[in-house]
Amino acid sequence: MKQVYMDHSATTPVDPQVVDAMLPYFTEKFGNSSSFHSFGREAAKALSAARHKIADCIGAKSNEIIFTSGGTESDNLAILGTVGQYAGVSHIITSVIEHPAVLNTCAYLERIGHEVTYIPVDADGIIDIEALVSSIKENTVLISVMHANNEIGSIQPIREIADIANSKGIVFHTDAVQSLGKIPVNVNDLGVDLLSISSHKIHGPKGAGMLYIKDGTSISPIVFGGGHERGLRPGTENISGIVGLATAVDLAMQRYDVDSRHLLDLRNSLIEKTMATIDGVRLNGHSTKRLPNNVNLSFRSVEGESLLMMLDLKGIAVSTGSACSSKSLKASHVLASIGLAADFIHGSLRISLGRGNSMEDIDYLVSSLQEIVSRLREISAL
């Protein structure tokens, strides 16, 4: 059966070039970078090269890169590590559409006595800057707002928020897990203090990620051990994963122009063709301030998990904000926050494109959707 993967915001296949770069670090170059001998020095050299490569790609200095196990850990380290610098009750500002890695870390901080303000977004999924400014308090220590949303792809005004945070002396963190490789990610242009990156969203291996920590920004570790990663992330480094991450970031930068144009063509064509041929479809998220690889559609009178299953039977892999398909059995908090009616949330479909997708894939998806949506509407009680 034909297989079409269009769920790249969930994860991506590892690029063969990335695999090639990683392989020697499992068998021949397996050393511990902390060791004195040649094996250790080889690992330390790879670690340093990876750090320099990534720093170059995002406009950072190599000492500003801390390797982690992925996006979730980077977000945790950024938030808990910043709060850990202050005595007493801290106040954190974030948005209602953040990834659970941020929202659940903030919920934990609330449980142990800290304060969190969740800033709303408008109907397009863009953060309310005025509400953010007016929520700043004496004890606000951190603002954390994602660069681009993982469900609806809305791109947030990061520079604007950074300027506000900087002028008030508040640390500013952004989760750039979805945006890297799709839109420009340069820490100087964005003006951020902390920035999270994950490897497996950009054709790198799972289990690797990093946190950019701007010089002069102090954070506390959240795990304790040896002195790895300047003591901020102790534990023997995942050298193969880090080499994979660095190679993936490098490839993403090299292919940026070609990839982003290709994705944009596919995205716009998918939206256009679906809206033109199927009734009762709604595009969720901003029409232009959105990731070039993200399409989020709602289909009236059909439910997302049923759509997902029918598409899966045709070999098409996508995702939904419907409650029934999630582990928690809760509908998407992001779609609820943009004011979408419940039936449209349950009927939502996220298509996240990747560099491997073609216009043929788009046409296959659109024709499959035409057939499936009409079939499910025949069955539907709505």
Partner 1 sequence: MYSKKVIEQFTNPLNVGTIENADGIGEVGSTVDGDIITIYLKVDNGVLSEVKFKTFGCVVAISTSTIVTQLAKGKTIEEAQKITNDDVLNALDGLPEGKDRCSGFALDALNKAIDNYIEFKKD
**H/E element holding 277?**
helix 256-277
At 26, list the tokens.
């499992």
Establish if 281 lies at the interface with partner 1 (CB under 8 A): no
Stretch that binds partner 1, among 32-40, 142-150, 170-178, 372-380 (CB under 8 A): 372-380
Stretch that binds partner 1, among 128-136, 139-147, 186-194, 322-330 (CB under 8 A): 322-330
94 to 113, contacts with partner 1 by CB under 8 A? none
Q: How many CA atoms lie within 13 A of 119 on its CB side?
A: 24
Stretch that binds partner 1, among 78-86, 136-144, 243-251, 321-329 (CB under 8 A): 321-329
Among 95, 260, 325, 352, binds partner 1 (CB under 8 A): 325
Establish if 7 lies at the interface with partner 1 (CB under 8 A): no
Among 143, 213, 331, 369, binds partner 1 (CB under 8 A): 331
335 to 354, contacts with partner 1 by CB under 8 A? 341-343, 346
> What is the SS3 assignment for 364?
helix
CB of 370 to partner 1, least distance (A): 17
Contacts of 53 (CB under 8 A, 6+ apart): 246, 247, 249, 250
Angstrom distance (rounded) from CA 98 to CA 76? 13
Residue 245 or 307 having the CB closest to partner 1 = 307
Among 253, 303, 349, 352, binds partner 1 (CB under 8 A): 303
> What is the SS3 assignment for 143?
strand
In whole angstroms, how large is the CA radius of gyration of the chain?
21
Other beta carbons within 10 angstroms of residue 259's beta carbon come to 19
Please give the distance of CA 203 from its chain centroid, rounded to a whole number.
Answer: 13
**For the chain, how far is it from start to end, CA to CA, in angstroms?**
32
Establish if 279 lies at the interface with partner 1 (CB under 8 A): no
Among 309, 315, 339, 371, binds partner 1 (CB under 8 A): 309
Contact 197, 55 (CB under 8 A): no
Establish if 305 lies at the interface with partner 1 (CB under 8 A): yes
Binding site for partner 1 (CB under 8 A): 301-306, 309-310, 313, 322-325, 327, 329, 331, 341-343, 346, 378-382
